[in-house]
Structure 1
Amino acid sequence: MRAEEPFLVRHADLIFALKTFAASILALVIALAMDLPRPYWAMATVYITSQPLAGATSSKAFFRVMGTLVGATMTVVLVPNLINAPELLCLAIALWVGLCLYLSLLDGTPRSYVFMLAGYTVALIGFPAVSEPGAIFDTAISRVEEICLGIICASLVSTVVFPRSVAPAVGNRVDSWMSDARRLSQVVLLREGTSETRRGRRLKLATDIVEIDTLSTHLAYDRLTDTNAVRGLSEIRLRMLMLLPVIASLEDRLAALGEEALSRQPALKRLLEDLAQWITSDVSARQPAERIRAMIAERQAVLDDSATWERIITTSLLSRLRELVDLSRDCRALSEAIAESRNVSTLDLTFHSEAGAASVRHRDRGLALWSAAGAALAILICCVFWIGTGWPDGASAPMMAAVACSFFAAQDEPARFIRSFGLWSLVSIVVVAIYLFALVPAISHLEVLVFALAPTFLLYGLLIARPATAGTGMALAANTATLLALQTTYNADFASYANSAVAFFVGVVIAELVTRIARGVGAEWVANRLVLSNWKTLAVAAERRGKRDRAEFAGLMLHRLGLLVQRIAFLSESDRRDTDSLVQLRIGLNIIDLRRARYGLAAKTISVIDDMLDELAAACRNYAGVGMPAELLRHVDLALAQAVKDPNESAREDALIGLVGIRRGLFPDAPAYRARVSESVAA
């Protein structure tokens, strides 16, 4: 088996293409044997569902079945009841597709496929069935059977024939991410490299964590993955969410101290060097984490009203160093447990999430609504054209408009992707015409047909296997299989085929034109909305009087950060700087820490802090890209001046660390805090 592994890895794309073609032929043969009305739907479904990783295929298959069932049920409800009012039927289908697309865009996980399928399945079944409404139930049942047959064949072949598990792919990406994070930690602790180098490393880590998160969503559907590994990877993900802002905070605190202050604290410099070595060393050569924690504790000093700004910054730095040690230790322990297939629940972990830190994603309701409205409008325009012209084969136009708008609504510029889809559809139309009217008429045996189809569909499979061409391959394969419309008997007619092909293409063109109007905004507009969403989230965090889970907040902000990194070229200079240094994320985490600390503070201290947070919330809600008001800095310094005098030592230190983080995040270039000046200003 070991000798075969390099071959399987080296030729993974070809193996996937062969597996997918075999599954599609299996689905087609069974559908023909069952005498299903549209056996080619089973073949097309295999290519729509199949993914190189078995878990991704299984998750997509499950959600596709659920969506198809919901869509078929809705078709049976709508078509018979509204067949005598075609205008109302078209409106109902358009609104249903729009609603489902809206829910799909808000979900943003593999589960969103349920909503998307539930929407455009009604268009796929309902519009062609208008001419035979009495058979709608049988048509819907056949459609479900064909889809389920394709899904079963795709899943069976994917999990039985040379299966590729999701877990190793996720595990390798996590190991690589942790290695990069350890290296970045070392660079930051030793103050090596340039700010531009560290910026590039941060952005890469932020992008990678979103990609890992997306890939991890398929783990629950991968039967090849051990449950302990799934649980362990989930626990590591929580710590990854916290590692990146902690490292960014360390870089900020070290910059605030400066080399001159560090030279006055040789013990602190030795601690940083020891920690940098500890972070990157192998497990066998590492000192126990408890010893590193003890070294950090030795440097901690009690903060009081005589504390200087340097001492406060140093205390904040030590606190973040302790968090780095705890998170690094947990990640190492979890990695070992996963490698040994041990139950991670038995591990003694240091970091614990307060509320489970469920996966939180950014949801843009406004953008989802615009996309849904555009899809509904495109369908209605196609219906008006179809009904108004009395075009016999015009049902393909609204059907394809629904599919095209649904597939690409999540993109920044969906019209551009719909146009590409339309161009590749033209290629499919030409390829199918060659098959139907030049090759297939001369074929009388199934074996010969399979041999004739193999080169084309194997090429499509190779395209799907590669991320850069996956969309092109899927469009070619699905459209070719659908337009080829293989049946038990050959009955192709050029005039009928041309009519269907033209209607097919008209639907895509109308979808592009309407989408270009309804979603005329691009990546710059989306990027600015993401930045504003971050500031509003900070305002909500500042306004809350209760506790909030830091990992959950970090998950939301890092998800947005990953989306922003993809569009960073479209941001203004100030917003780009904030994104690079994770400023908004760090401010939010410090707000949450401050909220947690306020429960142990004196009433007067709480009052001053709450006034500052109210001022901060107002500034975030009214943020216009020109920096924060100077009045907010005065409120932060007043809160610092009051917090250093609070009698509760533990809560006082936590509050000061949170306030330092907020001050450094909002006003990195402000003069150093001076307690006496702040008190005189307050007086």
Structure 2
Amino acid sequence: MTLPSWRDWLFSAKAFLAAMLALYLAMALELPRPYWAMATVYVVSHPLTGATRSKAVYRIGGTLLGASAAVILTPLFVNAPTLLSLVVALWTGSLLSVSLLDRTPRSYLFMLSAYTLPMIALPALNSPENIFDLALARSEEILLGILCASVVSALLFPGKVAPIFSARLNSWLGDARDWACELLSVGTRSQAGGHASRHKLAADILALDQFISHLSYDTTSFAMVKNARELRGRMSMLLPILSSLSETRQALLQYKDGIPAELTALMQQVAQWMSGDDSSAMRRQAPQLQRQLAALKQEIASGDGWQALLIAHGLARLQSLINLWLDCRLLQQLIVEEHPTFSWKPAYRHWPVGGTARHYDYGMMAFSSLQASAAIFLASQLWIQLGWTDGSGAVIMVAIASCFFAALDEPAPMMRTFLIWALVSIVLTTVLLFMVIPAAYTFEMLVAMLALPFLLVGTLFTRPQFTMIAMMLTVNTATFLSLQGAYDTDFTAFFNGNVATVVGVSFALLFSLLVRPFGIELAIRRLRRASWHDLAETASGRRLEDYPQLTARMLDRLGQLIPRLAANGHDQLPLVFSELRTGFSVLHLQRDENALPGPAGVRVQHVLDGVAAHYHQALALRLQPQTAAGLLAQIDTALAQVLAEPRRNDHHVLTVLNALVELRITLFPAAAGYAMTAADLPLPAGGVSP
């Protein structure tokens, strides 16, 4: 762990200044719980001004929604505590499910409203007539904290998303370039290095989604956000293209003469071109590479043999890679330049990249929501039956812990971390509250005493691996201190409140361990089964309504799978990429088979039926079976029939041909080379003559 940089200290100082400003104003306005304003600052603060602004907007909405629900629902059920507990549990679970369905910063609005209701409603059970005042005070204190955090973030050395986004783009595109250059190199590629590059690129795409969502709050330039989304789509397409190139390369290396020298030279030129830093030069050089590629296709890839088909397929993927990379670099230049000097036209037009569909595991989302509701209801019943005065605090912590970690495959480890750092916060608060703060006679002295711990912990916010720990420490400590306009600490109340916190988090942890013993393994299996289902349905022709959305969903599912596979040490990455390439091949065949009338179209449909049967069998067996040899024969028959087409150079025919080659090397990587001719073709079903 390195020492904090000046940027870390700057963010920490800004957050502390905003927190002290919020605390001072809350005390001056005589709000009942000024420490809520202080804690809110640390909840919404972010090194990037746009992210702070987005969190502030959604926290305001979530607070007002939860507070309004508390004001409406509490008086209705105040005389029926069990029924109120059920209403609170159902509200939290319902809003949590909506939050899980929204994978943008907007989800924060629904999550916050989910646990704001119990935070306001449960403590008011002893005095329900004050529910409106409590909800109003809660809203005022949070709004004050948000206002202070937003103003300080915007006025003092604002951290803009756009410049940092530009720096991150260099890193992300560097990961893509590294994988491509490893693949295009002449020597034997390191398997571990290739896997690492693929992991990084998939993670980069997920991170890019988050930056794009914050970018819209940071700039008034609609064009920048639009260009960032275009870039995201093209970076996603690099995954199947590079994976396909890798498999084609391996298939060619099985021949005695290996990869033809001309193709090797072109691959090295493309790798050198991709390593360039001058986008303008790359734009000038790209047409020359495309001409070389077209000439090479005429020279060494014009035959009907399997090696020629592999070379033609590799050249097609290389062409897509050139176009995608050119688009990525030009879009990066447009994002970086405040006043672009050129207008961009997409070079990659082969496949739509604008889909926004995402994969959602509705079953696990429903389970997570029901788990949160059940935990809150059971904790509420224990509180009611025991008659524990401070038990509402425990139920609130159950709600918070259940909501915070509901999206995780294994919430228990993070709940355990939450509990540990809550205990650390209690120790820190005890020292500050009973040994340090009593010596503070003025607000200035109080600020000086709080500065050291909060400034030190604040430097951790800018490091992703420590962000959650920093938030737990600062927010919990600010809340546990319960600072008021005058020092008036009751040790009994302090002790009972902290016990409630520990009991609440512990209950949520134990309940999670009890009802959710499964984890990443189940998530991986469900994601792969969802992939098989999509593949089977698409091959059957049942899900062809929107190709961009199907493409986006497949790529999103890949992005969810890769970090889980990496975390669990699974070696299923080649299978996952194979399924992705199979999906694209099936989409190509479904889209273009209608351009092949007669026998060729029939043969292609047989292949699609075989792929559908294979993945339907996988769904039925709950595991991926050995690919049937009959499917290999169907692919070879379709290849021979398509090669016999008189319109061999038609765009649609070439697309179908490449898709069949892709299916063959994906589903049967170890099969001997294709060697069928049109004369060997059997009659297709229905008696149609070839």
TM-score (norm 2): 0.91
Q: How far apart, CA to CA, are the structure 2 residues paired with 1:131 and 1:573?
A: 53
Matched residue, 2:496: 499
Task: Judge conservation of contact 2:34–2:483 (CA < 8 Å) in 1.
Answer: yes
Q: How far apart, CA to CA, are the structure 1 residues paired with 2:507 and 2:341?
A: 53
SS of 2:401 mapped into structure 1: helix
Relative to structure 1, is the Cα distance of residues 575 and 513 closer, same or farther in structure 2, using a 3 angstrom cutoff?
same
Q: How far apart, CA to CA, are the structure 2 residues paired with 1:601 and 1:429?
A: 72
Q: How far apart, CA to CA, are the structure 2 residues paired with 1:391 and 1:180?
A: 55
Matched residue, 1:131: 126
1:243 aligns with 2:244: no
Match of 2:195 among 176, 192, 199: 199
SS of 1:316 mapped into structure 2: helix
Matched residue, 2:588: 593
RMSD: 2.8
Q: How far apart, CA to CA, are the structure 1 residues paired with 2:288 and 2:303?
A: 30
Aligned partner letter, 2:207: E
Shift of 1:184: 2.9
Q: How far apart, CA to CA, are the structure 2 residues paired with 1:50 and 1:586?
A: 41
Once the two structures are superposed, the pairs formed by residues 175-190 of structure 1 within 5 Å of their partners are 175-190=170-185
Deviates more, 1:351-360 or 1:115-124: 351-360
Relative to structure 1, is the Cα distance of residues 37 and 678 closer, same or farther in structure 2, using a 3 angstrom cutoff?
farther
Match of 1:439 among 436, 440, 459: 436
Matched residue, 1:5: none
Relative to structure 1, is the Cα distance of residues 396 and 602 closer, same or farther in structure 2, using a 3 angstrom cutoff?
same
Q: How far apart, CA to CA, are the structure 1 residues paired with 2:389 and 2:235?
A: 57
Deviates more, 1:101-110 or 1:372-381: 101-110
Relative to structure 1, is the Cα distance of residues 10 and 491 closer, same or farther in structure 2, using a 3 angstrom cutoff?
closer
Task: Judge conservation of contact 2:302–2:308 (CA < 8 Å) in 1.
Answer: no
Matched residue, 1:395: 392
Task: Judge conservation of contact 1:304–1:644 (CA < 8 Å) in 2.
Answer: no
Task: Judge conservation of contact 1:254–1:317 (CA < 8 Å) in 2.
Answer: yes
SS of 1:346 mapped into structure 2: coil
Give deviations 1:104-136, integer Å, cap 9, x for gaps: 222222121111111001011111111222222
Aligned partner letter, 2:141: E
Once the two structures are superposed, the pairs formed by residues 664-679 of structure 1 within 5 Å of their partners are 664-676=665-677, 679=681
Relative to structure 1, is the Cα distance of residues 554 and 140 closer, same or farther in structure 2, using a 3 angstrom cutoff?
same
Q: How far apart, CA to CA, are the structure 2 residues paired with 1:304 and 1:478?
A: 64
Q: How far apart, CA to CA, are the structure 2 residues paired with 1:248 and 1:632?
A: 22
Relative to structure 1, is the Cα distance of residues 303 and 69 closer, same or farther in structure 2, using a 3 angstrom cutoff?
farther
1:341 aligns with 2:338: yes
Task: Judge conservation of contact 1:600–1:648 (CA < 8 Å) in 2.
Answer: no
Aligned partner letter, 1:667: F
Q: How far apart, CA to CA, are the structure 2 residues paired with 1:499 and 1:373?
A: 29
Relative to structure 1, is the Cα distance of residues 171 and 193 closer, same or farther in structure 2, using a 3 angstrom cutoff?
farther
Gaps of 5+ in 1: 1-7
Shift of 1:257: 2.1
Task: Judge conservation of contact 1:377–1:514 (CA < 8 Å) in 2.
Answer: no
Task: Judge conservation of contact 2:398–2:505 (CA < 8 Å) in 1.
Answer: yes
Q: How far apart, CA to CA, are the structure 1 residues paired with 2:606 and 2:568?
A: 32
Match of 2:484 among 480, 484, 487: 487
Deviates more, 1:193-202 or 1:369-378: 193-202
1:220 aligns with 2:216: yes
Matched residue, 2:532: 535
Once the two structures are superposed, the pairs formed by residues 249-648 of structure 1 within 5 Å of their partners are 249-258=244-253, 260=255, 265-283=260-278, 286=282, 288-300=285-297, 307-342=304-339, 346-352=343-349, 357-544=354-541, 552-568=549-565, 575-579=572-576, 582-623=577-618, 624-648=623-647
Matched residue, 1:4: none
SS of 2:461 mapped into structure 1: helix
Aligned partner letter, 2:639: L
Once the two structures are superposed, the pairs formed by residues 98-137 of structure 1 within 5 Å of their partners are 98-137=93-132
Task: Judge conservation of contact 2:532–2:615 (CA < 8 Å) in 1.
Answer: yes
Give deviations 1:428-464, integer Å, cap 9, x for gaps: 2232233333333443311111111112222231232
Matched residue, 2:688: none
Give deviations 1:439-496, integer Å, cap 9, x for gaps: 3344331111111111222223123232222111111111111122112233322222
Relative to structure 1, is the Cα distance of residues 626 and 11 closer, same or farther in structure 2, using a 3 angstrom cutoff?
same
Match of 1:164 among 134, 159, 162: 159
Shift of 1:304: 13
Task: Judge conservation of contact 1:181–1:205 (CA < 8 Å) in 2.
Answer: yes
Shift of 1:219: 0.9
Q: How far apart, CA to CA, are the structure 2 residues paired with 1:415 and 1:245?
A: 34
Matched residue, 1:208: 204
Deviates more, 1:373-382 or 1:121-130: 373-382
Deviates more, 1:293-302 or 1:508-517: 293-302
Task: Judge conservation of contact 2:178–2:197 (CA < 8 Å) in 1.
Answer: no
Q: How far apart, CA to CA, are the structure 2 residues paired with 1:267 and 1:304?
A: 11
Task: Judge conservation of contact 1:220–1:230 (CA < 8 Å) in 2.
Answer: yes
Relative to structure 1, is the Cα distance of residues 310 and 507 closer, same or farther in structure 2, using a 3 angstrom cutoff?
same
Relative to structure 1, is the Cα distance of residues 186 and 473 closer, same or farther in structure 2, using a 3 angstrom cutoff?
closer
Q: How far apart, CA to CA, are the structure 2 residues paired with 1:205 and 1:402?
A: 35
Shift of 1:143: 1.5
Aligned partner letter, 2:581: R
Task: Judge conservation of contact 2:535–2:583 (CA < 8 Å) in 1.
Answer: yes
Q: How far apart, CA to CA, are the structure 1 residues paired with 2:545 and 2:664?
A: 20
Give deviations 1:334-377, integer Å, cap 9, x for gaps: 23333332459932222248766243433222221221111111
Shift of 1:421: 1.0
SS of 1:395 mapped into structure 2: helix
Aligned partner letter, 1:218: H
Task: Judge conservation of contact 2:186–2:264 (CA < 8 Å) in 1.
Answer: no
Q: How far apart, CA to CA, are the structure 2 residues paired with 1:275 and 1:170?
A: 26
Relative to structure 1, is the Cα distance of residues 141 and 354 closer, same or farther in structure 2, using a 3 angstrom cutoff?
farther
SS of 2:413 mapped into structure 1: helix
Deviates more, 1:644-653 or 1:26-35: 644-653
Q: How far apart, CA to CA, are the structure 2 residues paired with 1:90 and 1:352?
A: 55
Give deviations 1:372-410, integer Å, cap 9, x for gaps: 111111111211111111111111111110001111122
Task: Judge conservation of contact 1:210–1:558 (CA < 8 Å) in 2.
Answer: no
**How many residue pairs get matched?**
673
Shift of 1:620: 1.7
Aligned partner letter, 1:33: A
Q: How far apart, CA to CA, are the structure 2 residues paired with 1:294 and 1:507?
A: 67
Q: How far apart, CA to CA, are the structure 2 residues paired with 1:300 and 1:550?
A: 29
Aligned partner letter, 2:333: E
Matched residue, 1:653: 654
Task: Judge conservation of contact 1:355–1:549 (CA < 8 Å) in 2.
Answer: no
Relative to structure 1, is the Cα distance of residues 570 and 205 closer, same or farther in structure 2, using a 3 angstrom cutoff?
closer
Q: How far apart, CA to CA, are the structure 1 residues paired with 2:341 and 2:588?
A: 27
Shift of 1:201: 2.3
Give deviations 1:269-309, integer Å, cap 9, x for gaps: 44333333333234365553222222222233599998222
Q: How far apart, CA to CA, are the structure 2 residues paired with 1:575 and 1:600?
A: 36
Deviates more, 1:377-386 or 1:623-632: 623-632
Q: How far apart, CA to CA, are the structure 2 residues paired with 1:352 and 1:72?
A: 49
Deviates more, 1:625-634 or 1:17-26: 625-634
Deviates more, 1:535-544 or 1:23-32: 535-544
Aligned identity (percent) is 39
